[in-house]
Each structure stands twice: as C-alpha cells, then as structure tokens.
Amino acid sequence: MDTHIAGIRGLWEDTAPASPPAPVLRETLSVDVVVVGAGYTGLSAALHLALKGASVAVLESVDVGFGGSGRNVGLVNAGMWVSPDEVAATLGPRFGERLLRVLGEAPGLVFELIDRYEIQCEPERQGTLHCAVGNSGLKDLERRAAQWQARGAPVHLLSAAQTAGKLGTPVYAGSLWDQRAGTIQPLGYARGLARAALGAGVQLHTGSPVRSAAHDHGSWTVRTDLGAAKSKWIIVATDAYTTGPWPGIDGEQVHLPYFNLSTAPLDARSLATILPERQGAWDTQRVLCSFRLDRAGRLIFGSVGALEGAGKYVHAAWANRTLRRIFPHLKSATWEHAWHGRIGMTADRLPRFHKLAPNVVSFSGYNGRGIAPGTMFGRLLAEYIGGSLAEHDLPLPVTEVRQPSLRGLKRTLYSLGSQLVHLAQARF
C-alpha cells in the first residue's frame, strides 16, 4: 500500500447528503433560545426545544457538522471510554448511575430520530465490538462486561473464535459486543438533524460565528460579524471547537488528535468475511485502532494522531502495516480518503455540565463519545430550559470551568507520542 497521502479530504463530506440551506445571519433576531454550534448537541437541543414550542436560532461559525460531528468514526456507542464502575465512583452513586442509565439509552434515541425523520446516514444497528489485545485486554473486557451486565445492559463477552467470526480476523483474544450500539455516516446524521430542526421551525445560520455576548435586563444579545440575536437563554454547544465569548469550555479540555483513512470499496469476497454483520470495532490498546465499513463497503481505519507534518506519513505507514497484520488479504488495498479532527479530553474522561452565566448553559467534554451523548444531552437541555426537567435531575452536577494543569504539554505529548508509538509498533 502507498504510504503517501496526496491531500486531506474526508469521506463523510464526499458521501453525505447536501447540507440544508442555512444563510449567514445578516439581521437582528429575537428568539427564546440561541444555540451556538450546529453539531449533535446543538441541533438536538434546537430540535427538541422547537418541538416544545420554543423559538430557536442556531448560530454556527462554519457549517453544519464542521467540528467533531463531521470528523468522527461514526460509532454510536453507549457509555463512555471509562468503565461503568469508574463512572459511578467518580460522580457518586446518584449522578453516576443516572449518567450510565442515560448514556445506555442514548443510542436508542439516535436511531429513533433517524427513523422518525428519515435521516439518510447509513444506519447499522448490529452493535459494536470492543476488541481485546492480548490477555490484559481480555481481562479489561471481562471486568467491563461484568459491570454492564450487573446493570442489565445487553452486552456479551465473545471468545476469540466468536470474535474472529464477526471481524474476519483471528488476531484478537476476544471482544465485548454491545448490542445497544451501531454505526452511522456521522456528517449525514448531523445534516439530517439540521433538516429536522428546520422543519420544526428552527432558524439556522452558518458562517455566523458568535463574537460577543452581552446581558442586560434579563436578556442576552449575541453578535456575529453581520447580525445579532436576542434571547433569554443561550446554549453553548461547541465543545472542543469552542471560540468566542466562552473560551473556558475549550480550555478545560486537552485536545487528542484522531485520524481516519478509508479504502476504496472492498470486493465481494472480502466483504463476505470482514465485518459481515457491519459492526464497528475498536481495540483495547492505549493508542487504539478503530475500524468499520460504510454502506458502500469501504473500510475505515483510524487511530490517535494528526495527518499533518511528519504525522501524515508516520500514521499512514502504521496504518498500512497494521491493516496487513489484521487483514493480510487486503495488502493491495489503497487509501482513497484521509482526514483528522480533535477529541476534547477532560481530566477524568467524563463530560461536564456548566452554567457559564445566568441562563447560559453547556454540556461538553465528550471524550470521543459525541454522537449518542451529544444527541441525548441536547434533548436534556431542551427539557431543562423548557421546565420539564429540574437541575437536580440532570445526569451531571453543575461544575466550574477549570483548566487542567500542563494542558499544552499534554496536547503535545498526545500528538508526538502517537507518532512514536506508530513508528515503533509491531502490533500483534
């Protein structure tokens, strides 16, 4: 396989349905709620608020799904990267168990919205596979399986042979199959949410970055380059791509770069054995590897790192070696698309609920699990603002924005460390 990548162009942008009309804001609006950011959280919040009768304007600095919503792998997972018991221990039993329950239900909400609004995003509902690398990885999955099963979740620990049958490779020691989960075309989903929101009466404006926000007599005025919007409430839904008046949201996260490469559509013989049920998969390594198929049969392969500078070649070479080890018969496959983005990592790997100012609220810090949690937290924000959900019934406590120590150094270590691991790694 060729280790050279001529340019950085995302598969999702090339294969998603067109973005709905969303003109630049050039006037002054007056609405009940201004939502800043047209990703999963913002669009879900806007849609659910509009369904409750609120007037809503979504202001997006670039385009629908520009940030993590258009760059991720497309795994619709339940829970977070950290184990269920760790979630409960960190947040306490009240918030911890509530968060686990909410996140366990979140993939179902995603697929419910896809069905209800006929969103064209290639949904696959066969679950996901967390794959064990060696005995240590298998022991980790055994612990996770026991913790989820104790909470009644439909997860199953698969043997090495069962895993090989679902993946089309014998290299893993086992896997954890989560039947709540699945895969989607992530940008297609974001654009579909935008269409649904527009259909419910939401005003959507892209190319309209919020530059300032001022509070006066119980009302907010946010200003963009060419317009403004007045509202009682503001939802800040920009996560790891935050700019403008609320930089602390981004500042409390350490950016973890993540890249994806995709092949041309595989031949029928390969598709008969590689992920024949179309689960998405990732492994237990600290510098993990993820892989899945899209509806056209392209294999999408990803890991930690950014496709820029030396990393552009280091990570592509690693992907070639790793692909040959996992699926030896794909050694002649070629990469057709390559892209990367950033994941916002919090200190404890859990999301945050912030009250940034009077009637200014935010969920952020998805730690690589944005699709299902973002959709669910958007709905919860709508219920909270609409008055049907009290603050003490939310799945996260209110916390202050706190910047982590050595943030810049950690960000550099993520980027350089992934290159060093991929340079040296003889994976299996």
Helix or strand holding residue 291 (H, E):
strand 289-293
Residue with the bigger pLDDT between 289 and 8: it is 289
Whose structure tokens read 């603002």? 385
Q: What is the mean pLDDT of residues 144-154?
A: 98
Token reading at 37: 């950011």
> What are 259-292's pLDDT values in tens digits?
999 999 999 999 999 999 999 999 999 889 999 9
Which of 300, 302, 296 has its CA nearest to residue 268?
296
Q: How many Å apart are CA 381 and CA 195, to the nearest integer?
A: 20
How many Cβ atoms from other residues are within 10 Å of residue 277's Cβ?
A: 13
At residue 410, does pLDDT exceed 70? no
Residue 222 in 3-state DSSP? strand
Token reading at 152: 């009644």
> What are 338-369's pLDDT values in tens digits?
999 999 999 999 999 999 999 999 999 999 99
Q: How many Å apart are CA 196 and CA 367, to the nearest integer?
A: 26
Q: Say which DSSP state 367 is in.
A: T
At residue 7, does pLDDT exceed 50? no
Domain segments of the chain as ranges: 21-72+187-252+350-407
Residue 258 in 3-state DSSP? strand
At residue 427, does pLDDT exceed 60? no
User: What pLDDT score was predicted for residue 2?
Assistant: 39
- The DSSP string of 338-360 is EEEEEEEE-TTS--EEEEEETTE
The one-letter amino acid code at 164 reads A
**CA–CA distances in Å: residue 8 to residues 5, 73, 87, 338, 423:** 7, 16, 36, 5, 21
User: What pLDDT score was predicted for residue 5?
Assistant: 45
The one-letter amino acid code at 152 reads G
Token reading at 173: 């020691």
Q: How many Å apart are CA 276 and CA 293, to the nearest integer?
A: 9
For residue 299, give every residue at least 6 positions away whose Cβ sits within 8 Å of its Cβ, in sequence order, or none. 262, 263, 266, 274, 291, 292, 293, 323, 327, 330, 333
Residue 396 in 3-state DSSP? coil
Token reading at 301: 């392969």
Confidence of residue 4 (pLDDT cuts 50, 70, 90): very low
Q: What is the mean pLDDT of residues 333-340?
A: 92
At residue 156, does pLDDT exceed 50? yes
User: What pLDDT score was predicted for residue 343?
Assistant: 92
Q: How many Å apart are CA 263 and CA 337, to the nearest integer?
A: 7
Confidence of residue 383 (pLDDT cuts 50, 70, 90): very high
How many Cβ atoms from other residues are within 10 Å of residue 393's Cβ?
A: 11
Which of 292, 277, 330 has its CA nearest to residue 158?
277
User: What pLDDT score was predicted for residue 9?
Assistant: 66
User: What pLDDT score was predicted for residue 334?
Assistant: 87
How many Cβ atoms from other residues are within 10 Å of residue 51's Cβ?
A: 16
Q: Tell me the pLDDT of the chain averaged across its residues.
A: 93
| Domain 21-72+187-252+350-407: top CATH class | alpha beta
**CA–CA distances in Å: residue 32 to residues 123, 333, 353:** 33, 52, 21
Token reading at 112: 């419910």
346 Cα distance to chain centroid: 14
- What are the E-state strand segments in 294-411? 299-304, 335-345, 352-357, 360-364
At residue 163, does pLDDT exceed 90? yes
Q: Say which DSSP state 117 is in.
A: T
Please tell me the least confidently modeled range out of 31-45, 225-239, 326-340, 358-372.
Answer: 326-340
